[in-house]
Amino acid sequence: MTTTIGIAGNQIIQSVDVFNGNHVSYTPQGFVTAVQNAGGLPIVLPIGAEETAAAYISKIDKLLLAGGQDISPDFFGEEPHPKLEETNRNRDLFELALIKEAIKQHKPIFAVCRGMQLINVALGGTLYQDLSLYTDWTIKHGQQPTQPQFTTHSIQIEKDSTLYQVFGQTYRVNSYHHQAINTLASSLKITAKSADGIVEGIEAIDASQRLLGVQWHPELRYQVDSKEFKLFDYFVNQL
């Protein structure tokens, strides 16, 4: 039976030049194609009311959380820092509800960049609203102007982790973030870090709670690196 993957969607709400002012629900094509190539059936879940999350999760086998806007800091008990960038509170609320329901319904979650950070917040952790607030920041974690298929920095991976099975002890990744995990939620464990100590991978301590998060963007590199595609294949067919 084909595994149905629900991909939490994003919105473009100011796109007069491209979409004639229409609002657009979307997800990056890389997620869609990677899931399809792994044998999964991707379905984009448009941002909606929190109370619809249970119905959405009941119709899918697994949940994928993509990257995007900053997370509203009041969800982890902070006021907005001057370097906070765009947020979408409707998206935050909906995806937090999706995470809660996926855990409740025992559906696996694969989370990328913002998605990984949001899982940490959903489970009680906190974020650095900007990397400038992290005192040991020494490595470039923003990709631009380098193209996404090229790697930016290395990560060190814990042996007792899913990521180690896929990538080995060290790997190089692309990077598109200015926020990062600060306090880790108590039910999570760190599975990878950059050389300056930024969290690059997480899993649940309880193996039965099938959560996998990465800070980089495999959907932008899976066509040039077979290990990145292996990550999607693991998500669709094993997680």
Residue 85 designated active-site: no
pLDDT greater than 90 at residue 16: no
User: What average pLDDT is seen over the chain?
Assistant: 96
pLDDT greater than 80 at residue 20: no
CB 1 within 8 A of CB 39: no
Residue 113 designated active-site: yes
**Cα 1 off chain centre by:** 26
Q: What is the dihedral of CA 142, 177, 239, 53, to 10 degrees?
A: -150
Determine which one of 95, 113, 177, 203 is catalytic.
113
- When divided into structural domains, the chain yields a total of 1
Which pLDDT band holds residue 22 (cuts at 50, 70, 90)? confident
> HSE-up of 119 (CA within 13 Å, CB side)?
31
| Partner residues linked to 204 by β-bridges | 188
> What mean pLDDT is predicted for residues 31-60?
98
pLDDT greater than 70 at residue 97: yes
Which pLDDT band holds residue 74 (cuts at 50, 70, 90)? very high
> What mean pLDDT is predicted for residues 8-34?
85
pTM (whole model) above 0.85: yes
CATH assignment at residue 92: 3.40.50.880
> What mean pLDDT is predicted for residues 222-226?
97
**Residue 119: predicted pLDDT:** 98
- In angstroms, the CA 39 to CA 224 distance is 19
Which pLDDT band holds residue 18 (cuts at 50, 70, 90)? low
pLDDT greater than 80 at residue 48: yes
Q: Taking the CB of residue 232, how many other CB atoms lie within 10 A of it?
A: 25
User: DSSP letters of 120-180?
Assistant: HHHTT--EESSGGG-TT--S--B-TTS-TTS--EEEEE-SSSHHHHHH-SEEEE--B-S-E
Determine which one of 95, 203, 219, 228 is catalytic.
219
pLDDT greater than 80 at residue 29: yes
Residue 217 designated active-site: yes
Calculate what percentage of the chain has a pLDDT beyond 90: 94
Determine which one of 177, 200, 217, 228 is catalytic.
217
Domain that holds residue 206: 4-237
